[in-house]
Amino acid sequence: MTKNESEIPEQGDQHQGHAKTGLAMTSLAAIGVVYGDIGTSPLYAYREAMVAAGGHRGGVDPEHILGVLSVITWALIIVVTIKYVIILLRADNDGEGGTFSLLALVQRAMGRPTPIVLALGMLGAGLFYGDAAVTPAISVLSAIEGLKLVTPAVEPFLVPIAVIIIVVLFVFQSKGTASVAKFFGPIMMVWFTLLAAGGVMNLIQAPMVLQALNPIRAAELVTSNGALGFTILGAAFLAVTGAEALYADLGHFGRMPIRISWLAVVMPSLLLNYYGQGALLMTHPEAIENPFFRLYPEWAVLPMIVLAGMATVIASQAVISGAYSLTQQGVQLRLIPRLRIRQTSETQQGQIYMPEVNFWLMLGVLMLIVIFGSSSALAAAYGISVTGEMCITSILVMVVANRLWKMPLILSIAMMLPFLALDLTFFGANSMKIFSGGYVSLAIAAGMIILMWTWRRGAAIILKLERENDVPLDMIFRQMDSKSISTVPGTAIYLTGTPDMVPAAMLHSLKHFKALHEHIVILTIVTEDVPRVPNESRVNMEELNERFRKVELRFGYAEEPDVPKALLQCRKLGWKFDIMATSFILSQRSLKLSGQRRMPAWQSLFFFYLARNATRSSDYFRIPASRVVELGTLVNV
């Protein structure tokens, strides 16, 4: 349920904490979180593009070296710098970014949810989960594969080592990352400094690779090599995977720190490293086996492997945290079943842990590592989900530019169409890898889309069934003085999504107990299409008579709803809320497969599974178990 945009006070581009934190320190923190994924791309991106060009078959074509460098250079400039850093960071939803934030922003801009926009949002979210499973697997594998340069005997142990690292990483999630996150920025700053240093050391040996700055080199590579050029393009796209994190982490750091860190540190370091790899292959074609680690002297390889391992763990941590945040937003937007959310930091908002998400994501990553076994094999599974997500983002930003930025429709389309065309080109190039591994991320995305579609469809059916038996609230008022209805001391709060109708739990109380509490509150919890609702706009209260009142609590889609804490604000409105004298009466549904099904049997059973495993309302809304009374209802679906 959403409200008119004008009812929500503007919160500005950045949270107040951003203004208090020095810009330099915030930019350093952004380097540690935002750029972990794209910052570890040099480990495998250039190598995979050159292998796609046929370099592994002996002999490295200098034209391919320059062409691949040119593709990577202009992909970083056009896709990351212009599209994301300059344009997309403006499409914030009260300071928040990401797929669901953009979906909520578009829905607000259009005034109501539309099936097409909702489908695009679900597709984008599903593709993100596919990316979230592949990123830790390929990053960790690519880092530890450098050990083969130290001793080839380690090769049989690479997969077990990767499995151990991933298991430790995911097990550590329950402890929270607040205590170690302060080191992410400095570690990644050292990483980017050494990326640049390794590149410069080799670039001065073959400065002719600077010819790749000419975009004609990229165009010639793609157009003059037929299908091979398209294949190379798909592999070169690996250099910009992780660009979506710039937008997804907007709410954590703000627009300016993300821009400064990209333009001043990350982009120059990446380009210098890629050009250094190109220069190395010009003079030492045999280094194509692992051009990244070959950039450094032999004595520095092992320390770089250790640092690369740390960088890939940080990159994986950012993706895992992103999966938590996206899932939390999906739950609030009623696209995903309620899941357990644990706050892991008392001081930092957004530091959360979701056990179910953590388990399934870890399982997916481990399966990918064991099945594919190397970063080169996984490279085929990487990229297609990212390109698909970028295409959806370009389409949704057209709507935002037209409806919210008030740009003419033609100008909105003209602004984003070149980016959409480039995204579609990369998507087409990566689609050629579907049967060699790309099916993995698509299968994960499809599974998540089916989950969201099933949950939303099933919830809509249940709501429709319950409304068939709705009784207007004012009908209860006429029976209040009836001697057949007893009065119970205390206050009862009934949670409902339809505040003008009698809650199902109240109907059951009247039917079975012939009693109502002395004071009754009809409580509705509303999720707004903004990330956070300020406290002064949290509560609306309306007294209906001496016994009944309505209370509406409003939360943003990025918030963790704490109902008892929010109800304390009712004291300012005249209701002396005391949780120890209050009972929360909730409806607990039991679902049964109906002979006249409104969904296919498989989807109904899947919905039953999701509903049974969803977190109980009392736990999700942080209502103390000692104050909860649940009345069961049977619903035939």
What is the per-residue pLDDT for 525?
Answer: 93
Residue bearing the bigger pLDDT, 508 or 398: 398
Q: Is residue 464 part of a domain?
A: no
For residues 105 and 60, membership in a common domain is answered with yes
Q: Are residues 559 and 451 in the same domain?
A: no
**Residue span of the structural domain in which 496 resides:** 472-636
283 inside domain: yes
- Percentage of the chain with pLDDT > 70? 93
| pLDDT more than 90, % of the chain | 41
- 10 in a domain, yes or no? no
| Domain final residue, candidates 402, 434, 458 | 458
Q: How far is 250 from 548, CA to CA, in rounded Å?
A: 43
Q: Is residue 1 part of a domain?
A: no
pLDDT tier at 70, thresholds 50, 70, 90: very high
Of residues 293, 201, 244, the one with CA closest to residue 99: 244
Query: Residue 3: inside a domain, yes or no?
Result: no
Q: What pLDDT was estimated at residue 572?
A: 85
Furthest CA-CA distance within the chain: 97
pLDDT range class, residue 300, cuts 50, 70, 90: very high
Question: Is pLDDT at 347 greater than 70 in this prediction?
Answer: no
Specify the CATH number for the domain of residue 298.
1.20.1740.10
The Cα–Cα gap between 635 and 461 comes to: 10
Contacts 24+ apart (CB under 8 A), 149-158: 149/290, 149/293, 149/294, 149/301, 150/301, 150/302, 150/305, 158/374
- H or E element at residue 459: helix 439-468
C-alpha to C-alpha distances, 219 to 152, 215, 235, 271, nearest whole angstrom = 39, 7, 15, 19
The pLDDT assigned to 329 comes to: 86
Give the pLDDT band (50/70/90) at residue 364. Answer: very high
556 belongs to a structural domain: yes
Domain boundary among 412, 427, 458: 458
Residue 256 resides in a domain: yes
Residue-level pLDDT at 467: 79
- On whether both 336 and 481 belong to a single domain, the answer is no
Burial track 505-514 (b if 16+ CB lie within 10 A, e otherwise): bbbebbeeee
**Mean pLDDT, residues 209-218 taken together:** 95
The Cα 352–Cα 321 span in angstroms is 8
Q: Residue 394 pLDDT > 50, yes or no?
A: yes
The answer to whether residues 140 and 194 belong to one domain is yes
How many domains is the chain built from? Answer: 2
Mean pLDDT of the chain, nearest integer: 86
Residue keyed to tokens 């003085």:
481
In this structure, are 497 and 608 located in the same domain? Answer: yes
pLDDT (tens digit, 9 = 90+) per residue, 539-591?
A: 999 988 888 899 999 999 888 899 999 998 888 888 888 888 899 998 877 77
CA 11 remoteness from chain centre: 22
Whether the CB-CB separation of 530 and 404 falls below 8 Å is answered with no
Examine the domain organization and report whether 414 and 523 are in the same domain. no
CB 380 within 8 A of CB 438: yes
d(CA 122, CA 104): 12
- List, as own/partner pairs, every contact residues 92-95 make where C-beta atoms lie below 8 angstroms and the sequence separation is at least 24, other chains included: 92/13, 92/250, 92/251, 92/255, 93/529, 93/530, 93/531, 94/8, 94/10, 94/11, 94/12, 94/530, 94/531, 94/532, 94/556, 95/11, 95/12, 95/13, 95/14, 95/15, 95/250, 95/251, 95/254, 95/531
Rounded to whole angstroms, the Cα distance separating 92 from 102 reads: 7
Taking 90 as the threshold, does the pLDDT of residue 507 lie above it?
no
Give the C-alpha distances (Å, rounded to integers) separating 553 from 44, 165, 536, 544, 566. 49, 43, 11, 17, 7
Please report the pLDDT score of residue 24 as a whole number: 85
235 and 305 in one domain?
yes
Full-model pTM: 0.84
CA 234, distance to chain mean position in Å, is 23
d(CA 126, CA 116): 15
Residue 282 lies in a domain: yes
The domain boundary residue, chosen from 458, 481, 503: 458
Estimate to the nearest angstrom the gap between the alpha carbon of 498 and the chain centroid.
30
Q: How confident is the model at residue 352 (pLDDT cuts 50, 70, 90)?
A: confident
Rg (CA), the chain: 27
186-197 pLDDT tens trace: 999 999 999 999
Please give the distance of CA 591 from its chain centroid, rounded to a whole number: 31
Under 8 Å between Cβ of 62 and 289: no
Task: Please indicate, yes or no, whether residues 388 and 426 belong to a single structural domain of this protein.
Answer: yes
Which DSSP state fits 407? -
